[in-house]
């Protein structure tokens, strides 16, 4: 049990699961603007990643990894959103210092973390990434405190799989229609 909570996901009771709808919430971003997930739904996938704290080694590595892959996410139509309990000013400084081109949300009271059911791990708030489809449903979850940069590859792979299966279906439907019309 100790090994599981140190290297695994810890207590996941109440945590959102694949297929769940993203909860409604409202937080301030690093520029003091209000962010509402429902305003982003329908536009493309959302990658919502929870991390422990600005300016810590693992969290900086993770944020810079998302930054370095930002074009790949944008090309897939995805919006990246980081959430921690740091305040707006800390997020602004963190985003400016590391040239982070995505949204950072201040969850100072930890209410949104609780809504998502993000567990604690290694004695601190957890590091969990949720990939949300444009309909607002969770399609992938990756939970690892120690593999900070793997959150990026996991999220990209999940979005690519959805895009491929979606595109594959529409291509197959077009091919079937074309075949039916030509016979």
181 Cβ contact list (under 8 Å, min separation 6): none
Rounded CA separation 132/134 (Å): 7
On the question of pLDDT at 14 being above 90, the answer is: no
The CATH architecture one would assign to domain 2-182 is 3-Layer(aba) Sandwich (3.40)
Q: What is the mean pLDDT of residues 172-177?
A: 42
177 Cβ contact list (under 8 Å, min separation 6): none
pLDDT digits (tens, 9 = 90+) for 16-50: 999 999 999 999 999 999 999 999 998 999 999 99
Higher pLDDT among residues 92 and 164, named by residue: 92
Confirm whether pTM is higher than 0.85: no
37 Cβ contact list (under 8 Å, min separation 6): 22, 24, 25, 46, 48, 132, 136
pLDDT confidence of residue 118: 93
On the question of pLDDT at 1 being above 60, the answer is: no
pLDDT digits (tens, 9 = 90+) for 61-110: 999 999 999 999 999 999 999 999 999 999 999 999 999 999 999 999 89
pLDDT confidence of residue 166: 63
Q: What is the mean pLDDT of residues 143-168?
A: 83
pLDDT confidence of residue 5: 27
On the question of pLDDT at 135 being above 60, the answer is: yes
Per domain, the residue ranges of the chain are 2-182
Neighbouring-strand partners of residue 179? none
On the question of pLDDT at 171 being above 50, the answer is: no
For 11, 36, 114, 123, 182, the CA distances from 139, given in Å and listed in that order, are 20, 19, 19, 27, 37
Tokens of 168: 């594959």
Mean pLDDT estimate for the chain:
84
| Helices assigned H by DSSP within the chain | 2-7, 57-68, 70-75, 88-97, 111-116, 150-182
113 Cβ contact list (under 8 Å, min separation 6): 50, 83, 85, 107, 125
Name, of 76-80, 119-123, 170-174, the range with top average pLDDT: 76-80
What residues act catalytically?
Answer: 59
134 Cβ contact list (under 8 Å, min separation 6): 41, 42, 43, 44, 45
Exposed/middle/buried for residue 33 (C-beta within 10 Å: 0-12, 13-18, 19+): exposed
């Amino acid at each position: 049990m100790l090994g599981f909570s140190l290297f695994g996901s810890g207590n996941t009771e109440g945590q959102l699961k694949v297929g769940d709808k993203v909860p409604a919430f409202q937080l301030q971003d690093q520029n003091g603007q209000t962010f509402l997930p429902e305003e982003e739904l329908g536009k493309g996938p959302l990658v919502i990643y929870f991390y422990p704290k600005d300016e810590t080694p693992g969290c900086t590595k993770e944020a810079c990894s998302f930054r370095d892959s930002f074009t790949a996410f944008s090309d897939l139509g995805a919006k990246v959103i980081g959430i921690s309990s740091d305040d707006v000013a800390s997020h602004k400084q963190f985003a400016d210092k590391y040239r982070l081109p995505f949204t950072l949300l201040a969850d100072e009271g930890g209410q949104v973390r609780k809504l998502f059911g993000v567990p604690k791990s290694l004695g601190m708030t957890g590091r969990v990434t949720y990939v949300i489809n444009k309909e607002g449903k969770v399609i992938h979850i990756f939970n690892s405190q120690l593999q900070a940069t793997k959150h990026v590859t996991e999220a990209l792979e999940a979005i690519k799989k959805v895009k491929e299966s979606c595109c594959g279906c529409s291509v197959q439907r077009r091919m079937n229609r074309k075949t039916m019309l030509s016979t």
